[in-house]
Amino acid sequence: MRDHSKHIQVDRNEAAGIIIRHTPRITSAESVPVIEAVGRVLAEDAVSRWDNPNMRTARMDSVAVRWDDFAGGMPDTADWVRGRDWDFANTGVAMPEGFDTAIPVEQVMFSDNDTKVAFKTCPSARFDGTSAPGSIMKAGEELVTAGTELTPILASYIANGNNAHVLVLKKPVVAFIPTGNELIHAGKDEVPAGKNVESTSITIAEKVRSWGGEPLISDIVKDDREALKTALLAAAEQADIVVLNAGSSKGSDDWGMEALEEIGTVLYHEVNHGPGHHSSFSVVNGTPVIGLSGPPDGGAITADLYLYPAVRAALGQEPHLKKVKARLAESFERSRSKSGKNKKRQYETGAFYVVKQMKLSVSDDGILKAWPPEGSHLSPLQAGAADAYYLLLTSREAMDPQPGEIIEVELKPR
């Protein structure tokens, strides 16, 4: 039997910190249309290519006048002619030539045929109701700084600076390697006895896309040390981040750790919580390799906890899940291990936790409240509707937080 006594276990925060420190930043960039740049990270400052506006414009729907006509007070407008003494000026449109001041239409009385005007108030100064050239942005002005992740409003602002394209960081490529002799691809007329359909790649790929990365899905790799080494080396060459699914536990066919120890450096073999206890982290030829253990539901949790920080760190964005405090609304339902497994695990390796998925909402008194969905094994719909994670200490001696207590939870990345 293989010796796993020297496996390194770290806690949740240590694990994330190690991943963040060993994930190289993306430095290569590409030019993309601004309309496709939402969610991308700017590689260089975006600047305006024009003075906006490039002429004096009306700030609202108005009547354009000359300030000099009001210098002595309210003028007699009985003989005023449109186009000579006044004219219409619409929001954001250049002021008619020869006029320098705008009075909102709400402050103007019009004749039935809109040929005559009278004013309820006088403008207070020359250029009232107008925007000067360059008042929104000037040519060469910095609009959005490098390193910013673009939102729809920021992309619109950059486009308003007369930019059709923008330079953004390339998406970090995340290679996903599913492993296991039992796995087959979906779509077979019949699933052979003892086999299982590989589906975690869908979860990982879509999470990676939503976080700003580009997934690269490998074919299924059998539980073979040499095959794993070959797949890992190829993935480390092609990708910025590699995810090894399964093969990191202690089963007789799990060769992930041995393969990684032979071709790279393993920084830890497992973490102090479940699901995902046998999640690992290694570096192969400078490329971070995250080992995610567990079926699709457990893999989704560990991807949020450990793959998300890597993708965000690669893009220079905040890598940590946001933490918030909430009032526990309902008690945790669970059965303590009658076999003493959790107690033994705590004694041997330090505190051990179970990751609880939590729902969040604002209570009637305005306080954020949290509660665990019913049941120890959540359905995909329940898990998908959860908003946060809470690490609940195991062992029969552990004292659970009680309803009404304030707890700290980590928000799920979206």
**Per DSSP, what are the bridge partners of residue 371?**
359
Question: If you write DSSP's letter for every residue of 226-287 in order, what string do you get?
Answer: HHHHHHHHHHHHH-SEEEEES--S-STT--HHHHHHHHSEEEESEESEESSTT-EEEEETTE
Q: pLDDT averaged over the chain?
A: 91
Q: What integer pLDDT is reported at residue 294 of this predicted model?
A: 63
Query: Higher confidence at residue 334 or residue 116?
Result: 116
Is the pLDDT score of 274 beyond 80? yes
Residues 6+ apart with CB under 8 A from 17: none
Structural contact between residues 338 and 351, judged by C-beta atoms closer than 8 angstroms: no
Distance of CA 324 to the CA centre of its chain: 17
Q: How many CB atoms lie within 10 A of CB 128?
A: 18
Share of the chain above pLDDT 90, in %: 77
Is the pLDDT score of 249 beyond 70? no
Please, what are the domains in the chain?
A: 9-26+171-314 (3.40.980.10), 30-51+138-169 (3.90.105.10), 57-131 (2.170.190.11), 323-411 (2.40.340.10)
Which DSSP category does 43 fall into?
Answer: S
Residues 6+ apart with CB under 8 A from 261: none
Share of the chain above pLDDT 70, in %: 91
> What is the distance between the alpha carbons of residues 248 and 280, in angstroms, rounded to a whole number?
7
Which tokens is 170 given?
Answer: 């390339």
Is the pLDDT score of 333 beyond 50? yes
Is the pLDDT score of 344 beyond 70? no
Distance of CA 412 to the CA centre of its chain: 10
Average pLDDT of the segment spanning 55-71: 97
Half-sphere exposure of 80 (CA within 13 A, CB side): 22
Residues 6+ apart with CB under 8 A from 49: 139, 161, 162, 163
Average pLDDT of the segment spanning 286-313: 91
pLDDT tens, residue by residue, 216-247: 999 999 988 999 999 999 999 999 999 998 65
pLDDT tens, residue by residue, 141-185: 999 999 999 999 999 999 999 999 999 999 999 999 999 888 889
> E strand or H helix at 382, and its extent?
helix 380-385
> What is the distance between the alpha carbons of residues 138 and 132, in angstroms, rounded to a whole number?
11
Structural contact between residues 288 and 310, judged by C-beta atoms closer than 8 angstroms: yes
Bond preceding residue 372 cis, omega within 30 of 0? no
Question: Of 235, 259, 261, which Cα lies nearest the Cα of 176?
Answer: 235
Q: What integer pLDDT is reported at residue 340 of this predicted model?
A: 45
**Predicted confidence band of residue 379 (pLDDT cuts 50, 70, 90):** confident
Q: What integer pLDDT is reported at residue 395 of this predicted model?
A: 77
Which DSSP category does 311 fall into?
Answer: H
Which tokens is 238 given?
Answer: 């092609």
Lowest mean pLDDT among 6-15, 192-201, 252-261, 333-342: 333-342
Is the pLDDT score of 313 beyond 50? yes
Residues 6+ apart with CB under 8 A from 205: 176, 215, 217
Is the pLDDT score of 399 beyond 80? yes
Lowest mean pLDDT among 68-82, 198-212, 290-304: 290-304
SS3 call for 213: coil
Is the pLDDT score of 337 beyond 80? no
Helices (H), 109-266: 152-160, 200-210, 225-238, 256-263
Is the pLDDT score of 370 beyond 90? yes
Average pLDDT of the segment spanning 63-86: 96
Is the pLDDT score of 376 beyond 70? no
**Predicted confidence band of residue 306 (pLDDT cuts 50, 70, 90):** very high
Q: What integer pLDDT is reported at residue 375 of this predicted model?
A: 64
SS3 call for 154: helix
Is the pLDDT score of 209 beyond 60? yes
Structural contact between residues 191 and 184, judged by C-beta atoms closer than 8 angstroms: yes
Average pLDDT of the segment spanning 63-76: 96
Q: What integer pLDDT is reported at residue 4 of this predicted model?
A: 65
Instruction: List phi, psi (to 5°) of 44.
Output: -150, 160
Average pLDDT of the segment spanning 203-224: 95
Average pLDDT of the segment spanning 45-69: 97
| Residue that has been written with the tokens 């094994």 in this structure | 377
Query: Higher confidence at residue 184 or residue 25?
Result: 25
> What is the distance between the alpha carbons of residues 117 and 59, in angstroms, rounded to a whole number?
20
Lowest mean pLDDT among 125-129, 221-225, 265-269: 221-225
Question: Of 346, 374, 370, 347, which Cα lies nearest the Cα of 359?
Answer: 370
